[in-house]
């Protein structure tokens, strides 16, 4: 049995407290009115001689030109910036909430795949995966609360929730059959409820299988069938979830492979998290039955899914870039314009780095290699979610500040607390599984 070390517990509480204070600060430090924004913009023009807007290149030449810009940045611009700045702490929280939720959710999908595929190697890691999915109910409820708050107009992330906007926007009006608040919340409730149901059910069945008399695998076969059914449910709901929760932030834009793209980001982060938690627990001496062949397999999945993510990222980017249809290409124009560094930087973190580091078979067995690449991959995929969400909600007003960092710390603290509490609740070896012997002796 695992005991939650008091040090780690204190660490998670410290993260939560620091994160909470930072998030609260982020909310209090948003401008209170459009007038504040005007003063702020004027100040930043004078002090830096440079505007924060898109015309950066146009007036990079001389300060005299930027003087014109000050006059140019009229009320409409200040109004725009005001909404963006108001959205900023909300978006930062949303990115962090979604990021950790997707890790948990994709771990659940990976777990279901292992059951449905009757994989022989991964049984010794099942309890780690179950623990990571213990964050799923918490994260799901938090996300749902977030959506309810959004629909109560406490923030302006989903512009299609604003009747004012919809009234003047024919494109969104045509989509109101799908994009309306009651249906949106109902769908979210169905997805989150379905995922949590499978998670709790699977957990109950594996624990029951542990205590079953030898030779009785009825719980195991039940879990096999439920997992296969869950995967069907998951594929449909995951795709719709990505339209609802992320693509609808840009309600004028659409992409058909978006669901898969989000899934690729999810699954690679999830496998990485499984590897990191396993290495941590093994380092503490709790997983002596996990050998470096198991880690090798996880690292291969990290490598393979990183490439898969890149493939989908590039397929989406290249098809839109090549055809250059105005209504689609704006999505990438805004990302290339205002988010060049994170947008291109994540390719280095998510593709180039794993490609070169994890290609060697020997490196994939070295713990610190997996840990270093894993951390890089997680940072890269956080940036991926950041670049999916932020351009729609804060536009050119983004920067990586207290709100963003403390949102991550807050949710990371919660994540660590719930994951490691769940680890203490069951033995770390799912000994009732019929494939457990094969998994213990797994060797590659």
Partner 1 sequence: MSNRVIQAMYNDDDILMDAVKEVRAANHHIAEVYTPFPVHGLDKAMGLKGTRIAITAFLYGCVGFSFAVWMMNYMMIEQWPQDIGGKPSFSFFLNMPAFVPIMFELSVFFAAHLMVITFYMRSRLWPFKEAENPDPRTTDDMFVMEVYVDGNEDELVSFLENTGTVEIKVTEKHN
Residues that bind partner 1 (CB under 8 A): 314, 317-318, 321-322, 324, 359, 361
- Strand, helix or coil for residue 413: helix
7 or 443: CB nearest partner 1:
443
Q: What is the DSSP string of 259-282?
A: HHHHHHHHHHHHHHHHHHHHHHHH
Helices (H), 324-401: 326-338, 340-347, 353-357, 367-393
Q: How far is the CB of 321 from partner 1 (least distance, A)?
A: 5
| φ, ψ (nearest 5 deg) of residue 118 | 50, 45
Q: How far is the CB of 308 from partner 1 (least distance, A)?
A: 14
Q: Which of 195, 196, 316 is nearest to 255 (CA)?
A: 316
Cβ atoms of 407 and 19 closer than 8 Å:
yes
Question: In whole angstroms, what is the distance from residue 197 CA to residue 203 CA?
Answer: 10
Structure tokens that stand for 134 in this block = 């213990």
DSSP class of residue 213 equals P
28 or 322: CB nearest partner 1:
322
347 or 411: CB nearest partner 1:
347
Q: How far is the CB of 344 from partner 1 (least distance, A)?
A: 11
Q: How far is the CB of 388 from partner 1 (least distance, A)?
A: 19
Q: How far is the CB of 337 from partner 1 (least distance, A)?
A: 15
For residue 365, give every residue at least 6 positions away whose Cβ sits within 8 Å of its Cβ, in sequence order, or none: 292, 293, 295, 296, 299
Question: In whole angstroms, what is the distance from residue 269 CA to residue 374 CA?
Answer: 8
Question: In whole angstroms, what is the distance from residue 269 CA to residue 263 CA?
Answer: 10
280 or 317: CB nearest partner 1:
317
Structure tokens that stand for 258 in this block = 């978006």
322 or 368: CB nearest partner 1:
322
For residue 248, give every residue at least 6 positions away whose Cβ sits within 8 Å of its Cβ, in sequence order, or none: 158, 160, 179, 184
DSSP class of residue 61 equals S
17 or 325: CB nearest partner 1:
325
110 or 308: CB nearest partner 1:
308
80 or 365: CB nearest partner 1:
365
| φ, ψ (nearest 5 deg) of residue 435 | -95, 10
186 or 355: CB nearest partner 1:
355
For residue 79, give every residue at least 6 positions away whose Cβ sits within 8 Å of its Cβ, in sequence order, or none: 34, 37
Question: In whole angstroms, what is the distance from residue 210 CA to residue 115 CA?
Answer: 15
DSSP class of residue 52 equals S
Q: How far is the CB of 335 from partner 1 (least distance, A)?
A: 14
Q: Which of 21, 99, 26 is nearest to 411 (CA)?
A: 99
């Amino acid at each position: 049995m695992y005991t939650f070390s008091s040090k780690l517990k204190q660490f998670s509480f410290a993260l939560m407290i620091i994160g909470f204070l930072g998030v609260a600060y982020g909310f209090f430090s948003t401008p209170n009115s459009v007038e504040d924004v005007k003063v702020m913009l004027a100040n930043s023009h004078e002090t830096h001689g440079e505007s924060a807007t898109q015309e950066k290149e146009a007036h990079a030449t001389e300060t005299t030109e930027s003087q014109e810009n000050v006059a140019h940045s009229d009320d409409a611009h200040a109004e725009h910036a005001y909404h963006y700045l108001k959205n900023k702490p909300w978006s930062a929280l949303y990115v962090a909430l979604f990021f950790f939720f997707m890790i948990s959710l994709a771990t659940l999908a990976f777990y279901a795949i292992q059951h449905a595929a009757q994989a022989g190697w991964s049984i010794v890691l099942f309890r780690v995966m179950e623990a990571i999915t213990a964050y799923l109910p918490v994260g799901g409820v938090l996300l749902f609360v977030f959506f309810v708050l959004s629909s109560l107009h406490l923030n302006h992330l989903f512009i299609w929730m604003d009747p004012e906007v919809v009234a003047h926007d024919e494109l969104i009006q045509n989509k109101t059959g799908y994009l309306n608040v009651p249906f949106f919340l109902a769908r979210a409730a169905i997805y989150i409820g379905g995922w949590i149901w499978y998670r709790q059910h699977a957990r109950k069945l594996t624990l029951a299988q542990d205590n079953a008399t030898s030779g009785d695998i009825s719980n195991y076969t039940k879990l096999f069938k439920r997992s296969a059914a869950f995967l069907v449910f998951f594929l449909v709901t995951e795709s719709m979830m990505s339209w609802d929760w992320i693509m609808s932030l840009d309600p004028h834009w659409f992409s058909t492979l978006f669901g898969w793209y989000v899934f690729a980001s999810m699954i690679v982060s999830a496998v990485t998290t499984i590897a990191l938690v396993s290495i941590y627990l093994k380092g503490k001496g709790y997983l002596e039955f996990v050998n470096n062949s198991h880690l090798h397999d996880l690292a291969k999945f990290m490598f393979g899914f990183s490439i898969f993510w890149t493939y989908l990222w590039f397929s989406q980017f290249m098809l839109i870039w090549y055809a250059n249809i105005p209504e689609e290409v704006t999505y990438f124009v805004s990302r290339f314009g205002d988010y060049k560094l994170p947008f291109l930087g994540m390719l280095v973190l998510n593709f180039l780095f794993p490609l070169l580091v994890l290609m060697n078979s020997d490196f994939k067995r070295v713990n610190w290699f997996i840990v270093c690449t894993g951390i890089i991959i997680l940072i890269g995929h956080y940036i991926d979610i950041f670049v999916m969400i932020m351009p729609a909600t804060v536009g050119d007003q983004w920067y990586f500040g207290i709100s963003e960092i403390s949102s991550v710390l807050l949710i990371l603290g919660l994540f660590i607390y719930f994951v490691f509490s769940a680890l203490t609740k069951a033995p770390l070896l799912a000994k009732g599984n019929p494939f457990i012997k094969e998994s213990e002796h797994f060797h590659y």
